[in-house]
């Protein structure tokens, strides 16, 4: 049967081929072969049939494509280093509590939910799709697959234990800021300083300053020195000026939160702004 | 006593934990377990040791792949708790009944856990007493087990009837466990058995599970009685497992040699395609320059090399290491046939359409064996291939298989994922950035090249020097190979050709002192990088290893680069472990032990697609491959292309 069907396609393109129609009339049921006979005589009808079929398929294809795409880029990504508090933030946003704490993630946490603070709200509230990307460097390749679907990024930084990890954090941020996808679609980033409930936590201004400084250094070592290195990388900020976040094409805002105590309004606001 | 019992999802959310009151754990052993063990594909190991200040813990774990749960038990290393494995199994069984994906709090599990723990402790006590008897006669044990299970069921029923209201619902739990959770108990308990023997065993295990559950809720006496049956079952299982293992080992030897040959034949023409940088004109192949042959350095003409970019800087997508996917398909086909032939075609067809409920070890075994052999033909060290397969199996057992997928495909996907994970470096390997960091502080960045004899330390040191020089970094060489004749002269020649200053003190000097002086000198003359060449040494040569340890501990280099040949097979693992071990053991100051930070893989152009050494070395040391030497020119230094290595390993 499949062979016959295939040939019928070809036959319809060439239009006159008695052999094919003969084969068809044998293989097809009675009424279909009758239809075929009439179609063969009336060429205009044949053309219209094909045209209608073609148009229907095309529209179907486009419609599915569009809906699929729109669905695609509605994801909020929680990224950041290992131990910054992404998983805690994820559950804080979803359930309003961090449960009994978290350990290093081995897989992304993903869920579509209505933000916990909005569950009591009346009226229709749109659910958000949030993905918590593991921070361990070995699991970082997973981010590449998730970025095309994202609409905004929440970069979580550990404000308490910040200084020992400043270089690693800056490196991660650099990778994000020079990522093709991020730059092309200008994905907004929220720089989230987590663990602000602790007394010894650094202030967001300090963290911002330190990160800018580190990024500036990184930019130097990656662009001017290794210009010959894989040049697909996009340069960061304005050349010849000291780097700061306002130079980025995408919007970068900064927030102070505490996933543990539930002070996450700024993240919620940010998410609502872009979803 | 157990310090902590933890249940968490693979996403990292702690669902339930039991921490002994008043005992906070020192350090974070669970995070360490995940980072250094589970994410490095060592999940096939049986336990993990964690050292914190003043405490040593042993951790054991189980995966429940279908539900995506991880169970971890932490206990003091000094206490050899025998019941931990059993407890883990039981807790896993009990908890998976309770588990609902949306639920995150399981306070009601406390009681169940306490009972299980009590039963397990009592059991282990009994085990110690009665071990010998049962080991003697496993079959008898399993018979008695069946009998016991029967009686156990009876007593269970009566207990349930009489005291159903008195007990706090644990009885019903026990019942539910036995009946509902039969299939999972079966897959966990005897996953290693053959398909035939499996069923009988599985029945037994569910029965025993029921009996033990009921026992824990009824009086202590019957606990002891029934646990003996459980124990017997365990022992017989062990024996079976051992048999299986040995079978596996022997059948593993008779690999499909035909396929590997085919591989070699079809790969051969590819070798021609290699792009050799910018090939130098024939005259340049002659590196001896006539003037410098007669006596040394007296300001004679210097042949400066100008050969364009180091390959490090070129796009990695160069075709030389590309492997066609065609072979994957062929092999896949083969693998599929082999796997399918074990079962009837009808069942496999039905399964392929409907999708299997849960993968079992027996299902995975044939596919894993194929992959293991394939890895070994690619020059991966034997025990590493084995460990990797175990780890992949651990991550797949119990998982749901999608419809229209073959087991080989599933295993292949898991294998690819874990290979990429292994080869991806833990930290950034941007040497240039580190060099600049050091430059800001105003000290030279020191790289020490270590390795066994004749792997190409000096040659690749020159290549690295050339690459750094290309990036406007001031490089100095230090000739600390004061042992082999001609080593200093060889390095001097390289230095002259690259126009790089060299620090040398002749032969018969202590290399550690030479290196120290070199670093001082570099600081004085404001050099950015010092490349320290050391003498090659066999990893078992104690005095030489001690000398190396001294050199490293004295100078505290920023980077210890292990130079290894890509040709090496099983010995590569030994080399790396020994080097790492000796560096740690022989260091005088115990405060900060230097270990190998990175790997330079040499002679990569000579191995075609047998890239297994890269995997072996990275897996054993955890250090990333920073450079790959792939030719004789200064430009022949590359970055490791993880994807292409992964592909060639699995073709």
Q: Which of these, A89, A109, A77, lies nearest to A197 by C-alpha position? A: A89
Residues 6+ apart with CB under 8 A from B525: B476, B501
Which residue is closest to A233 within chain B, CA to CA? B315
Inter-chain residue contact A222 with B433, CB threshold 8 Å = yes
The shortest CB-CB distance from B436 to any of A106, A168, A220 is to: A220
Inter-chain residue contact A138 with B436, CB threshold 8 Å = no
Q: Give which of A138, A139, A174, A215 to mutate to test B binding, by max B Cβ within 10 Å.
A: A138
- Residue B138 scores a pLDDT above 70: no
pLDDT of res. B561: 93
Window from A191-195, B7-11, B253-257 with minimum mean pLDDT: B253-257
Q: Which of these, B534, B528, B436, B515, lies nearest to B476 by C-alpha position? A: B528
Q: How many CB pairs under 8 A join A and B?
A: 106
pLDDT of res. B272: 52
Q: pTM of the predicted model, to two decimals? A: 0.64
Element (H, E) at B643: helix B642-650
pLDDT of res. B516: 93
Alpha carbon separation from B465 to A231, B310, B469, B502 (Å, rounded): 22, 10, 6, 11
**Higher per-residue confidence, B303 vs B191:** B303
Report the greatest alpha carbon distance in chain B: 105
Query: How far is the C-alpha of A136 from the C-alpha of A196, rounded, in Å?
Result: 22
CA count, 13 A, side-chain hemisphere, A101? 11
Q: Is A108 on the interface with B (CB under 8 A)?
A: yes
Window from B139-148, B417-426, B576-585 with minimum mean pLDDT: B139-148
What is the average pLDDT across A126-135?
87
Query: How far is the C-alpha of B337 from the C-alpha of B406, rounded, in Å?
Result: 10
8 Å CB contact between B608 and B323: no
Window from A178-192, B344-358, B619-633 with minimum mean pLDDT: B344-358
Query: How far is the C-alpha of B384 from the C-alpha of B388, rounded, in Å?
Result: 6
For A33, the 3-state DSSP assignment is: helix
pLDDT of res. A259: 85
8 Å CB contact between B5 and B57: no
Element (H, E) at B448: strand B445-450
Residue with tokens 């029934």: B226
Q: What pLDDT, in 10s, does the model give residues B152-194? A: 444 444 444 444 444 444 444 444 444 444 344 344 433 344 4
Most confident of B91-95, B126-130, B289-293: B91-95
* pLDDT tier for residue B78 given thresholds of 50, 70 and 90: confident
Min Cα separation A224/chain B (Å): 9
Min Cα separation B474/chain A (Å): 13
Which residue is closest to A175 within chain B, CA to CA? B428
What's the whole-number average pLDDT of chain A? 79
Inter-chain residue contact A136 with B39, CB threshold 8 Å = yes
pLDDT of res. A125: 76
Q: Is A107 on the interface with B (CB under 8 A)?
A: yes
Min Cα separation B387/chain A (Å): 19
What's the whole-number average pLDDT of chain B? 72
* pLDDT tier for residue B502 given thresholds of 50, 70 and 90: very high
Q: Is A226 on the interface with B (CB under 8 A)?
A: yes
pLDDT of res. B307: 63
The shortest CB-CB distance from B11 to any of A87, A140, A221 is to: A87
pLDDT of res. B601: 92
pLDDT of res. A19: 59
Window from B79-93, B264-278, B488-502 with minimum mean pLDDT: B264-278
Which residue is closest to A224 within chain B, CA to CA? B471
CA count, 13 A, side-chain hemisphere, A154? 36
The shortest CB-CB distance from A229 to any of B12, B313, B426 is to: B313
What is the average pLDDT across B402-414?
82
Query: How far is the C-alpha of B530 from the C-alpha of A78, rounded, in Å?
Result: 41
Query: How far is the C-alpha of B535 from the C-alpha of B454, rounded, in Å?
Result: 10
Contacts of A100 in chain B (CB under 8 A): 14-17, 105
β-pair partners for B6: B17, B72
What ipTM was estimated for this complex? 0.70
pLDDT of res. B214: 42
H helix runs in B268-355, sequence order: 282-285, 290-293, 326-341, 345-354
* pLDDT tier for residue B560 given thresholds of 50, 70 and 90: very high
Query: How far is the C-alpha of B496 from the C-alpha of B62, rounded, in Å?
Result: 59
Three-state SS for chain A is CHHHHHHHHHHHHHCCCHHHHHHHHHHCCHHHHHHHHHHHHCHHHHHHHHHHHHHHHHHHHHHHHHHHHHHHCCEEEEEECCCCCHHHHHHHHHHCCCCCCECCCCCCEEEEECCHHHCCCCCCCCCEEEEECCCCHHHCHHHHHHHHHEEEEEEEEECCCCHHHHHHHHHHHHHHHCCHHHHHHCCCEEEEEECCCCCCCCCHHHHHHHHHHHHHHHHHHHHHHCCCCCCCCCCCCCCCCCCCHHHCCCCEEEEECECCCCECHHHHHHHHHHC
pLDDT of res. A225: 39
CA count, 13 A, side-chain hemisphere, B372? 25
- Residue B342 scores a pLDDT above 80: no
Three-state SS for B47-79 is CEEEEECCEEEEEEEEEECCCCEEEEEEEECCC
Inter-chain residue contact B13 with A87, CB threshold 8 Å = yes
Query: How far is the C-alpha of A152 from the C-alpha of B282, rounded, in Å?
Result: 56
- Residue A58 scores a pLDDT above 60: yes
Q: What pLDDT, in 10s, does the model give residues B627-645? A: 999 888 998 888 888 888 8
Contacts of B428 in chain A (CB under 8 A): 168, 171
As to burial, measured by CB atoms within 10 angstroms (0-12 exposed, 13-18 middle, 19+ buried), residue B86 is buried
Element (H, E) at B552: helix B542-555
β-pair partners for A158: A194
């Amino acid at each position: 049967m499949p062979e016959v069907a295939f040939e019928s396609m070809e036959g319809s393109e060439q239009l006159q081929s008695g052999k094919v129609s003969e084969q068809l009339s044998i293989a097809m049921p009675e009424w279909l072969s009758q239809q075929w006979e009439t179609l063969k005589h009336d060429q205009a009808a044949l053309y219209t049939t094909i045209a209608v079929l073609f148009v229907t398929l095309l529209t179907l294809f486009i419609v599915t494509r569009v809906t699929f795409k729109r669905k695609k880029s509605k994801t909020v990504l929680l990224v950041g280093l290992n131990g910054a508090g992404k998983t805690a933030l994820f559950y804080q946003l979803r359930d309003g509590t961090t449960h009994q704490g978290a350990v290093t993630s081995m897989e992304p946490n993903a869920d579509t939910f209505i933000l916990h603070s909005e569950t009591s709200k009346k009226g229709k509230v749109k659910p958000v799709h949030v993905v918590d990307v593991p921070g361990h460097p070995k699991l970082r390749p997973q981010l590449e697959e998730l970025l095309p679907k994202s609409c905004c990024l929440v970069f979580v930084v550990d404000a308490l234990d910040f200084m020992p990890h400043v270089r690693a954090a800056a490196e991660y941020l650099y990778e994000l800021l020079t990522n093709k996808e991020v730059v092309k679609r200008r994905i907004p980033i929220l720089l989230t300083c987590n663990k602000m409930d602790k007394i010894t936590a650094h202030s967001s201004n300090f963290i911002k300053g330190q990160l800018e400084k580190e990024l500036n250094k990184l930019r130097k070592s990656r662009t001017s020195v290794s210009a010959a290195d894989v040049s697909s990388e996009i340069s960061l900020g304005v050349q010849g000026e000291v780097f700061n976040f306002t130079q980025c094409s995408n919007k970068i805002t900064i927030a102070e939160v505490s996933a543990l105590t539930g002070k996450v309004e700024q993240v919620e606001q940010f998410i609502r702004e872009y979803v | 006593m157990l310090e902590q019992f933890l249940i968490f999802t693979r996403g990292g959310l702690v669902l339930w934990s039991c921490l002994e009151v008043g005992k906070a754990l020192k350090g974070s052993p669970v995070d360490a377990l995940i980072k250094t063990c589970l994410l490095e594909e060592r999940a096939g190991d049986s336990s993990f040791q964690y050292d914190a200040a003043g405490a040593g813990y042993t951790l054991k774990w189980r995966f429940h792949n279908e539900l995506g749960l991880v169970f971890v038990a932490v206990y003091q290393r000094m206490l050899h708790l025998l019941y931990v494995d059993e407890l883990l199994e039981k807790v896993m069984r009990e908890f998976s009944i309770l588990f609902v994906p949306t639920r995150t709090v399981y306070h009601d599990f406390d009681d169940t856990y306490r009972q299980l723990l009590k039963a397990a402790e009592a059991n282990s006590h009994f085990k110690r007493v009665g071990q010998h008897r049962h080991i003697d006669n496993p079959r008898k044990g399993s018979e008695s087990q069946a009998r016991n299970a029967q009686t156990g069921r009876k007593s269970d029923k009566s207990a349930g009837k009489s005291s159903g209201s008195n007990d706090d619902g644990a009885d019903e739990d026990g019942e539910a466990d036995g009946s509902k959770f039969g299939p999972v108990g079966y897959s966990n308990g005897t996953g290693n058995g053959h398909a035939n023997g499996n069923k009988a065993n599985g029945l037994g295990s569910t029965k025993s599970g029921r009996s033990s559950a009921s026992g824990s809720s009824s009086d202590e006496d019957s606990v002891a009685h029934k646990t003996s049956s459980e124990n017997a079952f365990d022992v017989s299982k062990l024996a079976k497992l051992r048999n299986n293992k040995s079978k596996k080992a022997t059948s593993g030897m008779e690999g499909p040699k035909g396929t590997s040959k085919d591989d070699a034949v079809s790969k051969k023409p590819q070798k021609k395609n290699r792009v050799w940088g910018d090939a130098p004109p024939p005259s340049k192949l002659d590196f001896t320059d006539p003037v410098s042959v007669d006596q040394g350095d007296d300001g004679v003409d210097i042949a400066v090399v100008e050969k364009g970019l180091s390959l490090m800087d070129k796009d990695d997508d160069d075709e030389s290491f590309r492997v066609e996917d065609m072979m994957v398909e062929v092999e896949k086909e083969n693998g599929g046939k082999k796997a399918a032939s074990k079962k009837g075609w009808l069942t496999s067809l039905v399964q392929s359409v409907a999708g299997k409920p849960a993968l079992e070890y027996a299902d995975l075994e044939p596919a894993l064996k194929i992959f293991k052999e394939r890895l070994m033909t690619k020059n991966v060290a034997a025990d590493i291939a084995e460990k990797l397969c175990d780890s992949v199996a651990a991550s797949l057992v119990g998982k749901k298989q999608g419809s229209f997928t073959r087991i080989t495909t599933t295993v292949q996907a898991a294998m690819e994922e874990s290979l990429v994970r292994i080869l991806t470096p833990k930290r950034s390997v941007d040497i240039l950035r580190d060099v600049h960091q050091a430059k800001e502080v105003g000290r030279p960045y020191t790289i020490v090249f270590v390795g066994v004899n004749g792997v190409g330390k000096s040659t690749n040191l020159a290549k690295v020097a050339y690459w750094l020089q290309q990036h406007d970094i001031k490089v100095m060489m230090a000739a600390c190979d004061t042992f082999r004749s001609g080593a200093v002269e060889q390095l001097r020649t390289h230095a002259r050709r690259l126009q790089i200053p060299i620090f040398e003190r002749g032969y018969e000097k202590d290399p550690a002192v030479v290196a120290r002086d070199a670093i001082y000198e570099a600081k004085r003359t404001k050099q950015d990088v010092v490349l320290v060449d050391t003498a090659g040494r066999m990893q078992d040569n104690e005095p030489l290893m001690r000398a190396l340890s001294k050199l490293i501990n004295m100078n505290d280099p920023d980077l210890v680069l292990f130079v290894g040949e890509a040709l090496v097979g099983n010995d590569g693992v030994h080399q790396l472990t020994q080097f790492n071990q000796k560096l740690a053991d022989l260091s005088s100051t115990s405060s900060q032990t230097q270990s190998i930070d990175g790997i330079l893989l040499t002679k990569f152009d000579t191995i075609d697609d047998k890239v297994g050494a890269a995997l072996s070395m990275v897996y054993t040391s955890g250090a990333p491959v920073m450079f790959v030497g792939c030719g004789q020119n200064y430009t022949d230094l590359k970055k490791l292309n993880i994807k292409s290595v992964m592909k060639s390993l699995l073709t």
